[in-house]
Every structure is written in structure tokens, then in C-alpha cells.
């Protein structure tokens, strides 16, 4: 019986370590890349394009000769915006399909659902979307933004613009709730009282925004400049923005800064009434770089659709996939442990024009950008950092995490501890 590739990789990785150099390809079978994105349900509006991105990059890789002398193939599953099904499909990809790596998930609910599966089976997940932090796993590389790379700088931008009241509107799950807990503490530390912070949560797929937008308008009409911070996810954004327009919520008076809305979500909306509202990401399609121009052209050719847009999580998959390819080539194997060790310090010239690096805490150093909705659903960049900012999974604004670190390099394997221990180092009771 053939050993699973992740077990076979252990012997290959051991040989690599003993020999002190690269090893030959494990066998002639294809290298399998799992794709774990919702192609149906409330999150399909955001995730389907990420599936297309991975498939394009695999196709390009094969056209250039494959990886380790072998063809690469995608194994696509549809967890259908169902968090329990995400866990089942993750197990299927690792145990049944025997994939070498997985690119997937959008919501933190889906990532939380699959995390124990990846840790139990020692799989490797590249997660491409901004998230709330407060987590560190040696089996996940977080290629989206941590709070210090999105929500905190975006809120600082609003404070610097003189806003004094904030309506925090989110979908009811872990990312909005944890992000808003961090932002509430950050705003309090910057002189904003609880009376000037409104918080509201709605279910996935929520469509009736009339009364909520009316409450926001009433909250904003009390003599202080008010901004909306949105952690609304998925297809609920379409009726949300339509209702803003219906009730005349003007960006000049009450701007929205969104953390989960990009070019893809706006592509099906009349954006003329939304001009001036904001989003915070690490990349926008309007970035002018040769790498970005090439990526957009390639994606439109691959999908045979000249109207397709690209967005930040797609760039995150672009970065993560290229880093994984580089790490596999450096390690000479797809073994998870060997690839993980080779990932640290990998750099990629991103579509945004920055050289981004993978740090020992499994987070990237990335630029921060604030974009303003312009005509046609594209974003005009109104602010960006001059350099890449290292991602920090543990928020400095929450007392339970302000002293925590995450460092997964040998000898310390410390996902959430102040002082490494022998067990953290892998010397006692750790495989």
C-alpha cells in the first residue's frame, strides 16, 4: 500500500536534513493543490473568484514545467458557505484526496472550523483574507491582513479626519465581533466614549437594512461627525449599499469604511451613489505596477472575460502560492514540516509593488491602503504606507494578548506564549 504523501514526505524531509541539500522529486505522481472555497451560498460572491485565481496559477505553473519535475493539479471542493461542511471538506482533501497544500476559506468562522482538522492531520492551509487576529497556528499561513494592517490604521485614518462617532456594523460571527472588541478598546484609548460607539450585528445573508440604516442616520444626526465601520461579509453587502443609497447616506457626511468589500462585491452594484465611501485593504486593482497589469491581463484571458475584476484576497493568494512554490523548490519536497521551515523569509514582489516577506509568526509584512470608491466600482487610493508593515496576530489593545508573541521557527514553537518552554520548542511532548 502506498504511503500518504505527507507521511512519505517525512522520510524525504529527513533525507534532506541529513544530506544537507535538495532531494529529488518524491515520485512521478501529480502534486495536488486543494482549493477550499465556497462556490455556492452566501459567500460565493466573494470566494468563487479565489478558486479561479488558484486554478490560473496552477495552470501557469504547469505551462512553465510544473514543480519538482511533476505536474500540479487542483482538487476543488465546495463547502457551500457551511462552516461544518468546511471541516468535512478539509478532512476529505487531506485524508482522501491526499493533497499537499490547501488554499482556502474566507470567513473566520470557516477558518476556525477547519483549524483543528489541519492541526490533527498536519495539513497546510494558506488563508488569504483579512481577519481579527487572536490566533496562531503552525499549520496556517495567514496571507491576509492582521488588525494592525487594516482595521487599526483605517480607524486611525478616520480619527485623523476628525470623526468623533462610530457605527460598527458587522455580520454576526467571530471576525466582526473580535475586530469590534479591538476597535472599541482602540477608540476608548483615543478619547472616544462608549456613548459615541454604536454596534450592530446581522446574520449572514441579511437583506432588510431599512430600519438599521435609519438608526444609523439618527445616531449620526447628533452634532458629531460620524463614520460607519463595516465588517459586513458576503452577499449582504449588496442590499446594504443599496439601502445606503436609498436613504441618501452621503459619503461626505457619513462615510463607510469597509473591511470586507472590494472590487468583486461592488461589481454587481450601481456604484454611482456610493462614490466617496471607503475600504481598507493591502491592495487595490487600481495600483499601477507592471506586475499588476500582467496579473489582470492574465486573469481576464484565463477566464475569457474582459470585465473580470481582481481584489485584495486574490493578491494574497498570488503571494501565498508563489511563496509556497519557492519553499517547495527550496526544500525539494512538499512535506509540510520541510515546506513550513522553508517559508520563513520567503519574499515575493507583490502586485501592489511592494516586496512582501513571510515572517516567523506566519504573517506577511504588507502595505496598508485606504481606497475611495470611484466611478465604475474601482477604488482611488487616498492613503498608503511607505513601507510594508509586519502583521501582528496578537492585538496590543486587548490586555489578554498585548504581551503574546507568535514564533514558529525552530527551536521555539510558540503560538501564543510570553516565554518559550521546552514543550513549545518541540523537545517535550510535541511531535
Domains present along the chain, CATH in parentheses: 5-145+288-365 (3.40.50.2300)
Backbone angles phi, psi at 73, to 5 degrees: -130, 150
What pLDDT does residue 27 have?
A: 54
Whether 416 contacts 136, CB under 8 Å: yes
What pLDDT does residue 12 have?
A: 40
> Of 115, 133, 227, which Cα lies nearest the Cα of 181?
133
Residue with cell 468583486: 264
* pTM score of the predicted model: 0.87
What pLDDT does residue 9 have?
A: 42
Q: What 3-state class would DSSP assign to 371?
A: strand
> Of 37, 117, 67, 94, which Cα lies nearest the Cα of 332?
67
Residues of the chain with pLDDT under 70: 1-27, 410-431
> Of 141, 118, 160, 194, which Cα lies nearest the Cα of 391?
141
- DSSP bridge partners of 74: 33
Distance in angstroms (rounded) separating the CA atoms of residues 159 and 88: 43
Q: Is 330 exposed, middle or buried (0-12, 13-18, 19+ CB in 10 A)?
A: middle
What percentage of the chain reaches a pLDDT higher than 70? 89
Work out the number of other CB atoms within 10 angstroms of the CB of residue 286: 14
- DSSP bridge partners of 383: 370
Amino acid at each position: 500500500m502506498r504511503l500518504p504523501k505527507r507521511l512519505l514526505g517525512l522520510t524525504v524531509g529527513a533525507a534532506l536534513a541529513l544530506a544537507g541539500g535538495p532531494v529529488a522529486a518524491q515520485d512521478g505522481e501529480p502534486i495536488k493543490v486543494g482549493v477550499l472555497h465556497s462556490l455556492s451560498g452566501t459567500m460565493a460572491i466573494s470566494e468563487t473568484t479565489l478558486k479561479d485565481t488558484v486554478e490560473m496559477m496552477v495552470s501557469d505553473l504547469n505551462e512553465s514545467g510544473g514543480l519538482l519535475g511533476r505536474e500540479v493539479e487542483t482538487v476543488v471542493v465546495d463547502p457551500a458557505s457551511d462552516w461544518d461542511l468546511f471541516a468535512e471538506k478539509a478532512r476529505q482533501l487531506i485524508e482522501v484526496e491526499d493533497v499537499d497544500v490547501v488554499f482556502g476559506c474566507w470567513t473566520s468562522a470557516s477558518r476556525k472550523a477547519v483549524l483543528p482538522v489541519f492541526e490533527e492531520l498536519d495539513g497546510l492551509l494558506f488563508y488569504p483574507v483579512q481577519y481579527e487576529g487572536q490566533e496562531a497556528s503552525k499549520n496556517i499561513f495567514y496571507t491576509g491582513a492582521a488588525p494592525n494592517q487594516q482595521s487599526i490604521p483605517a480607524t486611525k485614518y478616520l480619527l485623523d479626519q476628525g470623526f468623533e462617532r462610530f457605527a460598527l456594523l458587522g455580520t454576526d460571527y467571530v471576525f466582526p465581533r473580535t475586530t469590534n472588541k479591538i476597535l472599541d478598546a482602540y477608540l476608548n484609548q483615543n478619547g472616544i466614549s462608549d456613548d459615541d460607539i454604536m454596534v450592530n450585528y446581522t446574520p449572514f445573508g441579511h437583506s432588510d437594512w431599512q430600519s438599521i440604516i435609519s438608526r444609523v442616520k439618527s445616531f449620526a444626526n447628533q452634532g458629531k461627525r460620524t463614520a460607519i465601520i463595516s465588517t459586513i461579509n458576503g452577499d449582504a453587502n449588496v442590499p446594504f449599499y443599496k439601502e445606503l443609497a436609498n436613504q441618501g447616506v452621503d459619503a461626505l457626511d457619513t462615510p463607510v469604511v469597509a473591511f470586507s468589500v472590494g472590487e468583486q462585491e461592488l461589481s454587481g452594484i450601481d456604484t454611482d451613489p456610493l462614490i466617496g465611501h471607503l475600504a481598507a485593504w493591502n491592495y487595490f486593482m487600481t495600483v499601477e505596477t507592471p506586475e499588476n497589469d500582467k496579473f489582470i491581463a492574465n486573469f481576464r484571458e484565463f477566464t475569457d472575460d474582459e470585465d473580470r475584476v481582481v481584489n485584495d484576497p486574490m493578491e494574497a493568494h498570488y503571494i501565498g502560492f508563489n511563496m509556497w512554490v519557492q519553499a517547495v523548490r527550496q526544500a525539494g519536497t512538499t512535506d509540510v514540516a520541510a515546506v513550513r521551515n522553508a517559508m520563513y523569509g520567503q519574499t515575493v514582489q507583490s502586485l501592489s509593488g511592494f516586496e512582501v516577506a513571510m515572517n516567523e509568526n506566519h504573517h506577511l509584512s504588507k502595505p496598508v491602503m485606504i481606497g475611495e470608491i470611484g466611478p465604475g466600482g474601482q477604488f482611488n487610493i487616498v492613503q498608503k504606507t511607505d513601507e510594508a508593515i509586519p502583521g501582528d496576530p496578537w492585538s496590543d489593545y486587548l490586555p489578554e494578548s498585548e504581551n503574546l508573541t507568535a514564533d514558529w521557527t525552530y527551536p521555539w514553537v510558540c503560538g501564543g506564549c510570553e516565554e518559550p518552554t521546552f514543550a513549545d520548542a518541540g523537545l517535550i511532548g510535541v511531535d
